Amino acid sequence: MSEQQPAASIRMEALVPHLQEAAARWAQRLELPMAGAAGFALQLGEAGLQLVELGPQAPGPMRVDFVEGAVAHRRLFGGGSGQMIAKAVGVQPGVRPHVLDATAGLGRDAFVLASLGCEVDLIERQPLIGALLEEGLQRAAGDAQVGAIVARMRLKLGNAIALMADWQGDAPQVIYLDPMFPHRDKSALVKKEMRLFRPFVGDDPDAPALLAAALALASHRVVVKRPRKAPIIEGARPGYALEGKSSRYDIYPLKKLK
């Protein structure tokens, strides 16, 4: 995801007095004011860190929650290793590849793969989204059921292209990319998270460079998630694709997973 856009004004808020000091630390780290007019707020409350649009017609807050809500439902009832993303990255009996999710976002796809037993590195370069994800992982680490899953998730903050070029340690077997796409279906545009995040993350004009960096690092395959009717990313052509109702996975095979 791309770096924060200066046009979107945002301030830091503590929702309860005893979290004021912790909120001030987030504000200092993210270089956010603690007061003043703004269109958005990053808030710290009892439920964790959340991003909210300010105003009477604004949607509700967005936070990263791996313990309850939609992510928990998908973990329990989402289809396990039969899910398309699992097939795309090569999950199969006896095979749980080491995956790098280089466009982590809210971490949902990475969490699905970690819940299936994959070791997952995550990279997020947008500081606000990275903060939400980092804090959500910290909260989930203390949960009896989910803690073991997020222990398989390791978050890195920074530019994915640079981090992949200077990767330390064993190369990930699979690199997963889900770049922001500028022409999403109208139904996706009205989603709360798109409305909240689009002013900050923009699109990913460097997707071709991201793909090239991933192909240079991955040992076995690169997987790119796209809207079903979107063109492939400029550059190398995928070997094949898995297609669903609204999305598809372009797969660039390098070596057989086993």
pLDDT in tens, 223-257: 999 998 999 999 999 999 999 888 899 999 999 99
- Looking at the fold, whether 166 and 229 belong to one and the same domain comes out as yes
- Looking at the fold, whether 248 and 208 belong to one and the same domain comes out as yes
Domain contains 58: no
- Looking at the fold, whether 49 and 143 belong to one and the same domain comes out as no
Element at 19 (helix H, strand E): none
Tell whether 68 is in a known binding site.
no
Q: What is the mean pLDDT of the chain?
A: 88
- Looking at the fold, whether 196 and 158 belong to one and the same domain comes out as yes
Query: Domain residues for 129?
Result: 69-253
Task: Decide if pLDDT at 6 tops 50.
Answer: no
Domain contains 218: yes
- Looking at the fold, whether 40 and 136 belong to one and the same domain comes out as no
CA angle 5, 134, 186 (to 5 degrees): 50
- Looking at the fold, whether 36 and 148 belong to one and the same domain comes out as no
Tell whether 65 is in a known binding site.
no
- Looking at the fold, whether 42 and 131 belong to one and the same domain comes out as no
pLDDT in tens, 61-84: 899 999 987 666 566 655 577 889
Tell whether 109 is in a known binding site.
yes
Please give the tally of structural domains in the chain: 2
Domain contains 3: no
**pTM for this prediction:** 0.89
- Looking at the fold, whether 158 and 211 belong to one and the same domain comes out as yes
- Looking at the fold, whether 137 and 49 belong to one and the same domain comes out as no
Find the CATH number of the domain harbouring 110. Answer: 3.40.50.150
Residue 83: how many other CB atoms lie within 10 Å: 17
Domain contains 111: yes
Euclidean distance between CA atoms 150 and 216, whole angstroms: 27
pLDDT in tens, 19-60: 999 999 999 999 999 999 999 999 999 999 999 999 888 878
- Looking at the fold, whether 111 and 18 belong to one and the same domain comes out as no
- Looking at the fold, whether 92 and 128 belong to one and the same domain comes out as yes
Element at 186 (helix H, strand E): helix 186-189
Task: State how far the alpha carbon of 160 is from the alpha carbons of 59, 122, 142, 155, 210, in Å.
Answer: 30, 9, 28, 12, 7
Euclidean distance between CA atoms 246 and 258, whole angstroms: 29
- Looking at the fold, whether 98 and 147 belong to one and the same domain comes out as yes
Q: Which candidate, 63, 59, 27, places its Cα nearest to that of 48?
A: 63
